[in-house]
Amino acid sequence: MKSAKIVGLGKYLPPKILTNLDLEKRVDTTDEWITTRTGIKSRHIVENNTPVSVLAKEASLIALKRAGIKPKDLDLIIVATITPDTQFPSTACYLQDYLKAKKACCFDVSAACAGFVYALTCAWQFLKTGFYKNALIVGGEVLTSITDWEDRSTCVLFGDGAGAAVLVPTGKDGILSSYLGADGSEADLLILPGGGSRNPVSARVVEERLNYIKMRGNELFRIAVRIMVEAAKKSLRMAKLTSKSVKLLIPHQANIRIINAVAKRLELEGKTYINIDRYGNMSSASSAIALCEAWEEKKIKKDDIIVLDAFGGGLVWGSCVIKWI
Ligand code: UT7
């Protein structure tokens, strides 16, 4: 076997919708500012502290059904998330238990908004070497659990959700290339400072609101555009293709202005999937849900070349080129 292909996709969005008008009542913001600066109109959010594993389960059941693979036959489960149910066990372990996928080995990937592309690349490697016969990967987040509802510069951006993909080995095509990168020297640009071993949970951490996402949006913006363009070009080069062959670009959904700038520089305007208006930024879940939704909307057909392209806190980034089979 030389590669791996996706044989099932699923997504789950919690039913409750938070609109910009709802946010106007909570913080000093306007629908107009959020819409023009970010492209977001609404986002889905969990209620009653629903953990990310529950969202992951719903998305996974759909993906497994579409793939025709039974949970008991799964070899590998990878969950990409920065909002795990608990620091440990991994969310993948909780998911395994829900699914009764007793044979599967399980781990989480922490690569923020590039998490789904990182997880996809890991699964691809396990499958192309013949180490495993199938894999379930999930990008899932409950970002509202680490959102500071007193910080208007971040609380308007994020949403909750999960997307899942089932992969099997294939002799040709499927995933053609992957380019992953990171730059830990810029960690402070987008960070959850509290709750880990650097700043364990304490009264001080809570008082200083370090248990919430901190972001230097302006600086990130410029880097995001440059790196996402570079990453997509690199993965296309690795696949011996150019953007002329691309049917659909599926970029991480952080900001409509980033998406449009990346699409323009790659000459892929009009061939770019956008759903940020309905869901906001869902970190690792954004790419997973966008891929699933594009497929459900029949925007992906056999033999199409599609490019996933993501960037996030770490910094981390990744791009995968897939020939759909
Ligand atoms: O997902 C991983 C990667 N994430 C990203 O790449 C995010 C990249 N960054 C962004 O998307 C944008 O930088 C943001 C959407 C976060 C912010 O947009 P911006 O155009 O860069 O705004 P800004 O931070 O420069 O703020 C402009 C103004 C400020 O007011 P002053 O100082 O000019 O008076 C802010 O205080 O907008 C103000 N502002 C708001 N006003 C109304 C910030 N947030 C809000 C708000 N409502 N929610």
Digitized pLDDT (tens) for each residue of the chain, 325 residues in all: 689 999 999 999 999 999 999 999 999 999 999 999 999 999 999 999 999 999 999 999 999 999 999 999 999 999 999 999 999 999 999 999 999 999 999 999 999 999 999 999 999 999 999 999 999 999 999 999 999 999 999 999 999 999 999 999 999 899 999 999 999 999 999 999 999 999 999 999 999 999 999 999 999 999 999 999 999 999 999 999 999 999 999 999 999 999 999 999 999 999 999 999 999 999 999 999 999 999 999 999 999 999 999 999 999 999 999 999 9
Q: Which two tokens stand for residue 141?
A: 């987040």
**Are residues 164 and 278 located together in one domain of the fold?**
no
Q: Which residue CA neighbors atom 4 of ligand 1 most closely?
A: 254
> End-to-end distance of the chain based on CA atoms, in angstroms?
15
281 is known as an active-site residue: yes
- Single out the residue of 43, 283, 288, 1 nearest to residue 146, CA to CA: 283
**Which CATH number covers residue 225?**
3.40.47.10
- For the Cβ of 257 lying below 6 angstroms from any atom of ligand 1, the answer is no
Which ranges of the chain does DSSP label H, i.e. alpha helix?
20-24, 31-38, 52-67, 91-99, 115-128, 152-155, 203-207, 217-238, 256-265, 276-279, 284-296
Strands of 153-245, DSSP E: 160-170, 174-182, 190-191, 214-215
Q: Count the Cβ atoms, other than its own, within 10 Å of residue 181.
A: 16
CA distance 73 to 102: 8
Q: Out of 114, 149, 171, pick the residue that ends a domain.
A: 171
The minimum-distance atom of ligand 1 relative to the CA of 223 is 6
**Are residues 86 and 189 located together in one domain of the fold?**
no
Span 185-200, pLDDT tens digits = 999 999 999 999 999 9
| Strand-strand pairing, 135-142 and 160-170 | antiparallel
**Are residues 213 and 286 located together in one domain of the fold?**
yes
**Are residues 35 and 151 located together in one domain of the fold?**
yes
Q: Out of 171, 206, 228, pick the residue that ends a domain.
A: 171
- Domain of 87 in residue numbering reads as 3-171
**Are residues 44 and 89 located together in one domain of the fold?**
yes
Any idea what DSSP says for residue 208? Answer: T
Catalytic residue among 20, 252, 292, 320: 252
- For the Cβ of 9 lying below 6 angstroms from any atom of ligand 1, the answer is no
- Single out the residue of 80, 75, 247 nearest to residue 166, CA to CA: 75
**Are residues 273 and 224 located together in one domain of the fold?**
yes
Angle between helices 91-99 and 52-67 (to 10 degrees): 50
Cα separations in angstroms, 95 against 14, 84, 245, 272, 294:
17, 11, 37, 31, 25
CA atoms within 13 A on the CB side of 194: 17
**Are residues 245 and 167 located together in one domain of the fold?**
no
Q: Model-level pTM?
A: 0.97
Distance 33 CA to ligand 1 centre (A): 9
**Are residues 92 and 207 located together in one domain of the fold?**
no
122 is known as an active-site residue: no
**Are residues 121 and 218 located together in one domain of the fold?**
no
Residue 43, strand partner residues: 18
113 is known as an active-site residue: yes
Q: How many secondary structure helices (H) and strands (E) does the chain include?
A: 11, 13
**Are residues 199 and 141 located together in one domain of the fold?**
no
Any idea what DSSP says for residue 197? Answer: S
Span 149-204, pLDDT tens digits = 999 999 999 999 999 999 999 998 999 999 999 999 999 999 999 999 999 999 99
- Single out the residue of 264, 308, 273, 313 nearest to residue 294, CA to CA: 273
**Are residues 234 and 109 located together in one domain of the fold?**
no
**Are residues 181 and 153 located together in one domain of the fold?**
no
- Single out the residue of 7, 10, 63 nearest to residue 324, CA to CA: 7
Q: Out of 171, 199, 234, pick the residue that ends a domain.
A: 171
Q: Which two tokens stand for residue 92?
A: 């993948």
Given strand 76-80, what is the order of strands in its sheet? Answer: 3-12, 160-170, 135-142, 76-80, 105-109
The minimum-distance atom of ligand 1 relative to the CA of 154 is 16
Q: Which two tokens stand for residue 189?
A: 């640009």
Domain count within the chain: 2
